[in-house]
Structure 1
Amino acid sequence: MTPVERLLRTKPTERIVAEGGHGEGGDLRRTMSLWQLTLFSVGATLGTGIFVILGQAVPKAGPAVVLAFVLAAFTALLSALSYAELAGTIPVSGSSYSYAYATLGELVAWVCGWCLMLEYAVSVAAVAVGWGEYLNAFLSSLAGVVLPDAITRSPGQDGGVVNVTAIVIVLLATWLLLRGASESATANAFFVLIKIAVLLFFCVVAFTAFRSGNLAPFAPMGVAGITAAASQVFFSYIGFDAASTAGEEARNPKRDLPLAIVLSLAIVTAVYVLVALAAVGAMPWTDFDPEGTEASLSYVADLAMGATWPGLIVSFGAVVAIASVVLTVIYGQTRILFAMSRDGLIPRVFQRVSPRRQVPVANTLIVAAFISVLAGLVPLGQLAEATSIGTLFAFAIVNVGVLVLRYRSPELPRSFRTPFFPATPVLGAIMCVVVMAGLAGVTWLAFALWMLVGLVCYFLYGYGHSRLNAEVR
């Protein structure tokens, strides 16, 4: 085969599925139920975004921010349906990396996997960095305690030395992950139920101050304002694909993975729309300040009740929300690396499974160490924002992958089929490109640099160690 043919060679779907669950030294354990898989995706999606995003989105759309969340959900749904089909057809840990390998070839799969590293590792480090700020806000409201800047901020920030709080939450998540997939899923379910309860509590409080007059005019900025707000809140939906990284630890992956992906998006959308409606109904949209903290859910809750204790409960929900995101996203990162290692594209250490714990221990520790360094010592800046492009690129690849696999292998058994094919995946890919095009130039530059580093890594290591390429030499 020519070098170009090797780069574009796909891995047979049957082989990807057959290798599922098997690592070096042991196998992963199938323990996750549909309920746990659904809450895994909800845990990765329902993060701090909803606690702060309203303050930035409401001034763009006014009360019609509710429609902006619905529009963003529709955009996410297009890709979610494609994920559901491929997750049911190729139920393995690699998520969109494995789907790309089966449909578009090794080089595209590597680029997709590299994008997922950006989405998972860098974004979770950025989220962990913010945990100290939310913890400070909660402790300050609860007991007047404020942690020093030296341990809650990264070097380069005012007073920052080492962001110890970010490292602590990463280490706590790592400890849970090392105990086993089932234990991690149980802990995540507990976290998710708490933050959903907190958000429902906010809705109850805010609806006590609901004024229909606050919803008029409903769309002061028109359709343009709604679409601008939808582009912003779209990133609050990123994470619904987390269940697809658990394909080799699900009890009934062909049935449960598609259901978990779609159900998690439905749950998150319902919560977002309810919270948005409660917030804009309780406080005039003109009072939402995108530059300040006045528009946080805590502030709206306090305003609605005329007391400070509701905001304290909401702040606690934000602290729990970050913990859940850190746990689920680190899990997803380790399983994607597990699949890439099994294909030979990264070192074998990432596919080693502990026979006793039935989890990739070395993989988890390496990822935790890397994220801890990022979160504790590195100001992430534009690189963290570039995770948005990385995620959207992976979404686009999955939409294209559905098209390719349907036409190339129509005989494959599929437990879920994307409705309105081929319109749904085509529109899904187009919407991903449209949202990507609206991102800032400096974000594109950070993404381009990340891709350049990824291609260098592939040609220095992955191309020469690929198991698929080794078979044709």
Structure 2
Amino acid sequence: MAMTPQQLFRRKPVPEMSQESGTDTGQSELVRTIGLFQLSMFGIGATVGTGIFFVLAQAVPVAGPAVIWSFVIAGVVAGLTAICYAELASAVPVSGSSYSYAYATLGELPAIGVAACLLLEYGVSAAAVAVGWSQYLNELFDNIFGFTIPDSLSQAPEQGGVFNLPAVILVLLCTLLLIRGASESATTNAVMVCIKIGVLLLFIVLGLRGWDANNLSDFAPFGISGITSAAGIIFFSYIGLDAVSTAGEEVKNPRRTMPLAILIALVTVTGLYILVTLVAVAAQPSGDFENQEAGLSAILEKVTGATWPATVLAAGAVISIFSVTLIVIYGQTRILFAMARDGMIPELFHRVNPRTHTPVPNTIIVAVLIALLAGLIPINFLAEMTSIGTLVAFLVVSIGVMVLRRTHPELPRGFKVPGYPVTPILSILGCLWIIKDLRAVTIWVFLIWLAVALAWYFIYGFRHSHLGRHEHVGLIHDDDGPAS
């Protein structure tokens, strides 16, 4: 079949997306059971991972106490993008996150490129945090019971182990929850997020006892360059706010709920990060942060003179990673669900179980692949590949806001970006600023991955595109029965 530029950049009409997702009729393929509180916890849960527990050891030696401003700068860049997500989520409230937004604004070929970014972000980061879970689980077991899981069963082969069993168990537990139902998963996540917020608040309250203004006296020893360099390191502690946008078809009143949840998550996460950082840098000299692997727990141990804070913070990290893994696997399955509905990947990923109203085959396939990555590949390689996929997806969302304002100004929007068009332009510049500092090998691997995704599109996606064939996919049950 000959390909023309018009075909490669064909856009999926937003009214068609709204009809498929049941945004205006309430008849969605998935069940709308998630409310504002649960959705806000999605955003907070996916964002507050282990980064804040340990990132200060990398960031403070670069910026000194002025790392507080680094968190503000990173939060502003992430916030600009989150605001753009909020507008698109209210205008196009469907599953698929920025893949669906790109399909509506930039066209089919760019949408496939964005999908590759999202699959990299969600799939690889799920494996990376699952690998980290075994480390913190061992720390918790050691603190409470005085034993650890042997390296052969808690490390990847490259690190001297055989198989990372705890990481695989974590993926399995998350998968069982997700198969059971979106509402149950959201409720479980909300409980875990409240616990990890409580752990960080505990650090703030106890850490204030060690406040010493002298630790803040040499505030910016490395100047503006140190502050901006640290902001690049810290930025990845804000990744996860986009997870809210993957739940578009399971949210009650999505046009209002989705932008509100994104903004609530942004404010909560930024406030927590800045307070934790302020207390941490005031509680000990900035020179003590270098190579301080225990992070916040080491600070509390100094302040309180007790060892129990290490146990509490290890427990917080274990719960935190469980929550992140749950949401990230959820997001991955919903992106694939939207792609299958469009014909970009096989229909199996769009098949919904009639009892649980969840895409069960999709979830199982994703879980198996993530479990293999988590069980066999070390965390440092996995973590490096998460960042660039996220930033490119952020970039596209900011562009998409401007495109949709021009092509569909009449669309109902539950939220509009303030300061338009300055806000999305600043978001684009912020993402490019961080991308330029990424390692060359990360960019090359990303480009190879993007080439593989585009090859898939030209071999399979273009020919099976429902938009190209003017087809519309209905609900497909596991039992191949009639649509409900």
TM-score category, normalised to shorter length: over 0.9
Find the counterpart in structure 1 of residue 304 from structure 2. Answer: 305
Residue 130 (1) aligns with residue 129 (2) = no
CA distance in 1, matches of 2:284, 2:174: 36
Q: 1:374 to 1:68 in 2, by over 3 A?
A: same
Q: Hey, what does 2:35 align to over in structure 1?
A: 33
Counterpart of 1:469 in 2: which secondary structure? coil
Matched residues in 2 for 1:66 and 1:183: separation?
A: 37
Match of 1:88 among 87, 90, 106: 90
Answering whether residue 16 of structure 2 is matched by residue 8 of structure 1, we say no
Residue of structure 1 in register with 2:143 after alignment: 141
Q: How does 1:190-229 map to 2 (within 5 A)?
A: 190-229=191-230
Query: How much has 1:380 moved relative to structure 2?
Result: 5.8
String of CA shifts for 1:96-152, please: whole Å, max 9, x gaps.
000000000000001101110000001110110111101111111112111100111
**Residue 242 in 1 paired to residue 259 in 2?**
no
Q: How does 1:41-440 map to 2 (within 5 A)?
A: 41-158=43-160, 160-289=161-290, 291-294=291-294, 296-379=295-378, 381-440=380-439
How far residue 382 of structure 1 moved from its aligned partner, in angstroms, is 3.7
Contact 1:374–1:380 under 8 Å retained in 2: no
1:42 is displaced (CA, Å) by 0.5
Letter in 1 for 2:193: V
TM-score, scaled to structure 2: 0.94
In the aligned structure 2, how far is the partner of 1:405 from the partner of 1:361? 33
Alpha-carbon distance, 1:378 to partner? 2.8
Q: Which amino acid aligns with 2:36?
A: L
Contact map agreement 2:207 2:299 (CA 8 A) in 1 = yes
Unaligned residue ranges in structure 2 (runs of 5+): 472-484
Aligned partners of 1:386, 1:8: CA distance in 2, in Å? 27
Letter in 1 for 2:200: L
Q: Does the Cα contact within 8 Å between 2:353 and 2:360 map onto a contact in 1?
A: yes
> Deviations along 1:152-211, whole A, 9 cap, x unmatched?
1111112x1011010000011111111111100000000000000001111111111111
Q: CA deviation at 1:401?
A: 0.4
How many angstroms does 1:471 deviate by? 2.9
Please tell me whether the aligned partners of residues 132 and 379 of structure 2 are also in contact (alpha carbons under 8 angstroms). Answer: no
What is the DSSP-based 3-state SS (H/G/I as helix, E as strand, rest coil) of the residue aligned with 1:234?
Answer: helix
State the one-letter code of the partner of 2:408.
S
Percent of aligned pairs with the same residue?
53
Alpha carbons of structure 1 residues 21 and 379: separation in structure 2 relative to 1, 3 Å = farther
Distance of 1:154 and 1:466 partners within structure 2: 39
Judge conservation of contact 2:51–2:237 (CA < 8 Å) in 1: yes
Quote how far apart the aligned CAs of 1:463 are.
1.1
Q: Quickly say closer, same or farther: Cα 1:380–1:50, change in 2 above 3 A.
A: closer
CA distance in 2: counterparts of 1:464 and 1:177, whole angstroms? 32
Contact 1:20 1:248 in 2 (8 A): yes
User: 1:418–1:424: 8 Å Cα contact kept in structure 2?
Assistant: yes
Amino acid at match of 1:375: A
Looking at structure 1, the residues matched to 350 and 373 of structure 2 have their Cα atoms a distance apart, in angstroms, of 23
Tell me if structure 2 keeps the 8 A contact 1:383–1:443: no
Secondary structure in 2 aligned to 1:468? coil
Equivalent residues of 1:36, 1:189 under 8 A apart: yes
Report the residue type matching 1:394 in the other structure. A
For residue 156 of structure 1, give the secondary structure of its aligned residue in structure 2. helix
Instruction: Tell me the secondary structure at the aligned position of residue 463 of structure 1.
Output: helix
Q: Residue 440 of structure 2 corresponds to which residue in structure 1? A: 441
Distance in structure 1 (CA, Å) of the matches to 2:191 and 2:146: 27
What is the alpha-carbon root mean square deviation over aligned residues?
1.4
Q: Is the 2:83–2:417 Cα contact (8 Å) retained in structure 1?
A: yes
The answer (yes or no) to whether the contact 1:69–1:273 under 8 Å persists in 2 is yes
How many residues align? The count is 466
> 1:436-455 CA deviation, whole Å, 9 max, x = no partner?
11111111111111111111
Provide the rounded CA distance (Å) in 1 between the counterparts of 2:237 and 2:172. 25
The ranges of structure 1 where at least 4 consecutive aligned residues each deviate by more than 3 angstroms after the TM superposition are: 379-384
Q: Which moved more, 1:226-235 or 1:452-461?
A: 452-461
Separation of aligned partners in 2, 1:134 and 1:380: 13
Aligned partners of 2:435 and 2:93: how far apart in 1? Answer: 28
Q: Residue 381 of structure 1: CA displacement? A: 4.6
Deviations 1:207-248 (A, max 9, x none): 111111111111111111111111110000000011111110
